[in-house]
Structure 1
């Protein structure tokens, strides 16, 4: 069953690529490929949202992006068969996702998304973590038999971004205020987020529904604060009454910061996230970084 699920995800992405490739070929212009890697080893931790990855494809001049990915959650470094009290449950999410972006006006961008995937053993969390730990020289975790059980899941989301330029200099330096509002719902997650942040640096990119393959060189930094209201999170609450579970905090604050670089066909984004307590009686908070490598080809 896991192999079948993975094959279905690959076939889904391949079908989308085949469908859009004639238009891309006609324009003879590059498409955007990107690889995202999330991990808490940036902070020498191994708990909570401990790792994730995704591979994304955006056809040139298209507002549509398709991706496949996986998220993994574990308790702290403890090899007991059941997470200790106050620790995050074992959980994994293997999914395929499609995003569609709308330019509502020059400074407002709306992104809609639909994700389909699975939790439980089909999500291959134990297998992917074992491989990663073998490569990094970490111990394998023994508690995956207690992971959140299997559920075929779906998530729909809407995000609004508003860019307000505060400063532009003749030399190309600038400062922006970014406001964000996001909601998502389904049988896996239901929550609502609002946030505000600043971007400052050289040649700040404008909000755009279609990624620009010929953008000028840019280097900039970001700092954001976000408040999330949580109604459902199966990675904490579990799927069935037999799952080890914890009670989510209904309000969670997250601070993030990042550095971003773009030159020619290459782009590198590195962001760090610092969530507050996410569930009741949580012993330890966690931090993680997300590295995204992008290439126009």
Structure 2
């Protein structure tokens, strides 16, 4: 008989876990689907060990009203680059109702609080939109190396603009059962939002995990906006795996890559105010290494979009040191 029970409080780490930091690399790309819209994202991050210095981060976390008192606190540092293109990339002057060319180069610092049952993440991101992001050079270089057509319309990309985004997410490991054919699963609702000139939105959703040796984590890391994951994880002596699936809805008040520049004329399209993500994937962990793959189906983001959704894949590699 299948029984759902509230998740019992768990220690965030097994013995020895939490002593190491975690290096994560995430690559999101539509290479297996189509080269359009959100076409590539790369993010590298370092998540410190639990309750380690710097002292300013620990003190800030203790003052933040949403972080539970009994949580372990980590600091997360990240750098990344996103690029966006229209559907038609062989024209120097793509249609004005297609997705604008745009790049986003950024750095982030964040705090993560986790107590085995709840995960709070707050992150401040600073960066630059426009030609200074080097998205044009990056995409042209990759296309040249791969021997495929070079995108022609980057002269129409968004103008240079400094960007700032403050994001907050909370996830709850709310239900656990070990009675479904002997394999554990859990359900993790989440809610949060972002505020800034690059992204402003509110989001909520839920993720289901099902697998062998289900570890105390919250899914693989992703590039925002997305369903939340965790850069850290609990190392596993034996090989472990889990499948996962999740849904998220976002109300979008601001998306610079669709709305265009904030203070100067640029290309823009009429965005859809509500966007949904459906994701599914697999995570495997052995020792201090975790690998994850996520397939994402994203609903229409702007009104003149030629397709009802966009599909892309996300690979993640996390290693503890």
TM above 0.5 = yes
Q: Distance in 1 between matches of 2:111 and 2:38?
A: 26
1:89-135: per-residue Cα shift (whole Å, max 9, x none)?
A: 101100001121123x5422110010000000110110110111122
Query: Residue 260 of structure 1: CA displacement?
Result: 0.5
Matched-pair contact (CA < 8 Å) for 1:109–1:207: no
1:260 to 283, 287, 300: 283
Q: With the length of structure 1 as denominator, give the TM-score of the two structures.
A: 0.84
Matched-pair contact (CA < 8 Å) for 1:155–1:185: yes
Q: Distance in 2 between matches of 1:136 and 1:286?
A: 23
Matched-pair contact (CA < 8 Å) for 2:27–2:43: yes
Equivalent positions of 1:215-234 (< 5 A) are 215-216=236-237, 217-234=239-256
Over 3 Å counting, the alpha-carbon distance change for 1:138 and 1:214 in structure 2 is same
1:142-179: per-residue Cα shift (whole Å, max 9, x none)?
A: 11111111111100000010112331259973111110
Query: Residue 203 of structure 1: CA displacement?
Result: 1.6
1:26-71: per-residue Cα shift (whole Å, max 9, x none)?
A: x99542111111100022x100100010111122235111010000
- Match of 1:245, SS state, is coil
Aligned residue in 1 for 2:27: 37
Q: Distance in 2 between matches of 1:212 and 1:255?
A: 23
Over 3 Å counting, the alpha-carbon distance change for 1:35 and 1:168 in structure 2 is same
Aligned residue in 1 for 2:150: 140
Over 3 Å counting, the alpha-carbon distance change for 1:289 and 1:199 in structure 2 is same
The CA RMSD measured in Å over matched residues stands at 2.3
Over 3 Å counting, the alpha-carbon distance change for 1:214 and 1:199 in structure 2 is closer
Q: Gaps spanning 5+ residues in structure 2: where?
A: 1-16, 52-73, 219-229
Query: Residue 254 of structure 1: CA displacement?
Result: 1.4
Q: Gaps spanning 5+ residues in structure 1: where?
A: 1-26
Query: Residue 82 of structure 1: CA displacement?
Result: 2.5
Matched-pair contact (CA < 8 Å) for 2:88–2:94: no
Q: Distance in 2 between matches of 1:39 and 1:28?
A: 31
Matched-pair contact (CA < 8 Å) for 2:24–2:231: no
Q: With the length of structure 2 as denominator, give the TM-score of the two structures.
A: 0.78
Over 3 Å counting, the alpha-carbon distance change for 1:203 and 1:39 in structure 2 is same
Q: Distance in 2 between matches of 1:61 and 1:235?
A: 35
Query: Residue 197 of structure 1: CA displacement?
Result: 2.4
Over 3 Å counting, the alpha-carbon distance change for 1:79 and 1:187 in structure 2 is same
Aligned residue in 1 for 2:162: 152
Q: Distance in 2 between matches of 1:258 and 1:279?
A: 26
